[in-house]
Structure 1
Amino acid sequence: MATFKNIESLGALDGKRVLVRADLNVPMQDGEVSDDTRIRSVTPTIKALAAKGAKVIVMSHFGRPKGQVVPDMSLEALGQPLANITRLPVAFINDCIGDDVTETIDAMENGSVLLLENVRFYPGEEKNDPEFTKLLAANGDAYVNDAFSCCHRAHASTEGIAHLLPSAAGLALEAELVALENALGTPKHPVAAVVGGAKVSTKLDVLTHLVEKVDHLIIGGGMANTFLAAQGVDVGKSLCEHDLADTARDILGRAEKAGCTLHLPTDVVVAKEFAANAENRTVALDQVAADDMILDVGAASVADLSAALHGCKTLIWNGPMGAFEIEPFDKATVALAKAAAELTDEGSLLSVAGGGDTVAALNHAGVAEKFTHISTAGGAFLEWMEGKELPGVKVLEV
């Protein structure tokens, strides 16, 4: 298991300039933050550094300005929400490098917070340009990364800067790395993985990697239809990637060879249209009509899957079981999530979940807080599930 430098490894920080990479790329609606999860995530790190007397300098990206100054993508609007949640005064400066930034930081009081402008306003950020990285690093005595959701990118503020300053993982990133190591690095077996979502094509690498790592692979969502079709099941007019039949059969073969039990639905919920409260019925796989759409997993399948989880010690979850956004096609996702939460509550299951749809689905089921760990990262969580090295994490290893 790799070990990572943490805040304590930075030593005394009183009066030191600490650059903190946060992910403040939060959803906004009418100029207001509509989901403050990511701000709350970095708050303990900011508060801990401020309590140590550091000058806390927060860096982040927002949107995709592609190296241009785009006023609508300024971080200025995030200053007040950050102050409200951290309960610390937060100043803002409309740049992230240069003399004005240096002067502002020099004038900061120990324990105060400064929010820099969007690092992606400079093309050097995404290019991990050495000159831009040096200019960022010039305003810090130490660097803390607390943005796991950005760690799969080798950008100046996530990877390059860590080579130039004493660096550490923030509290949220540290907790994330511990949880992920427990889930897939050195997990307690048997290990189950739930992988749902619309398309096999977006999660090919995940599935291929997991069959070598887990004991039970539960496939749901639209991607289950592709596997069913590959086995000769008529899935009607369901979402299905028929051109990936050979790929699905290859993954089934790999699972069998690796001793991984691959779980597919045995009964499904079908409807003639994709609409809320559409007339629906639960049928066996051989009863799917030509004009049916499979929109959820059936109750018998959920019971079997819940029973499989009862025998497991570790669970990784990414993606819903069905079209959970519309009722009643959320039932399988909710039921399986509740089963996992119950086992976690009892202390028999370590459960780690991540990915945008997954967090929304578990919140919808009302069980997110009962899981051992919920990752708010999308791409970084998926790349971790694929077994890929994350540049922003690698650079923090001891």
Structure 2
Amino acid sequence: MKIGIDKIGFYAPHLYVDMNKLAVARNVEPEKFTIGIGQEKMAVAPITQDPVTLAANAARTILDDEDKEKIDFVIFGTESGIDNSKSAAVYVHQLLGLNPNARSIEVKQACYGATAGIQMAKGYIALNPESRVLVLGSDIARYGLNTSGESTQGAGAVAMVISADPKILALEDKSAYLTADIMDFWRPVYSDKAFVDGKFSNEQYIHFFNTVWEQYKAKSDLGLNDFEAICFHLPYTKMGLKALRTVLEEADEADQERLLANYKSSTMYNRNVGNIYTGSLYLSLVSLLEQSDQLKDGARIGLYSYGSGAVGEFFTGILQPNYREYLQAESHAELFAARTEVSIEEYEAVFQETVPVDGSTVEFDATKDTAAIYLAGIKDNMRQYVNKSN
């Protein structure tokens, strides 16, 4: 039985900042942002968008009535959780009107959370072939204004339906994974901003990739020539390229050219959204599938997931017949085209507007938020969500 991604979509907030202008404002050469780390635009989440609304907005565009009835497991991967007890998945379940006879949970391991959700979903579908699982990766990356990590911020979510006989990507059985207790990136419960040792984190990202890649080759007897493309978790688009270059010499020139060309296609969306933590790898996958004209049905795609702290995994999937018919390329193009650029001053003001943590009752102005689902305010310590499409 084939199990894998039946549907996939993403959502990013309607505001963004131009990285060239951010560089100028921070007295940095623009090329450091646009070429050095490979970012052009950074999505900015207004106060009316949080990880719950981002995920719900990503999912609502891909689900039909049959999905809503058959989905009986919602797995929400995030490192931007809004509650220490109640899972973000429960909110999304209600906002989307899913079958009440369902399980809903939140999974945490830095940027690896959505991958853990997919692997969990795969096992669940193997036991329950008629079911469908909604896996969400949703985050708002925050390092702070005028910090070294500011240029690798972002906001957005990816939603995937995992099922038997998937229409887009069938996941293969073999994978390789690694855990090590390191402090390359973390966010204590008392902080709304992350702490990061950037150089060490980059080194560990590549070390983990090299390790799981060697393990995967030993398990599968496959090599680079067996892959049409490899997608990477992308905290910034140059990061995956650094890792890919460490193994490119294993391939001949034609394979190298193909892998590099498809890598470029896989970064186009991330380059214009920024880092979305748990969703970054899957935003890269969406970008590859919708932007590459070289992919063919039956091609093997590699996926490298890395979550600081740290857990890494390399796994694979096979593109299914006529997979392009089930993508959301047109709606994603419209999403990008409808976004609004904000000035540096406006971006800084939005960044500093945060949800109160003292129990205050507050109502947010959502008149400028174009999303169907948004956060309307806080009342009695409870977030008030609105779905305008209901």
Q: TM-score, normalized by length of structure 1?
A: 0.30
Question: Highest CA radius of gyration, 1 or 2?
Answer: 1
Q: TM-score, normalized by length of structure 2?
A: 0.30
In terms of fraction of residues, the more strand-rich structure is 2
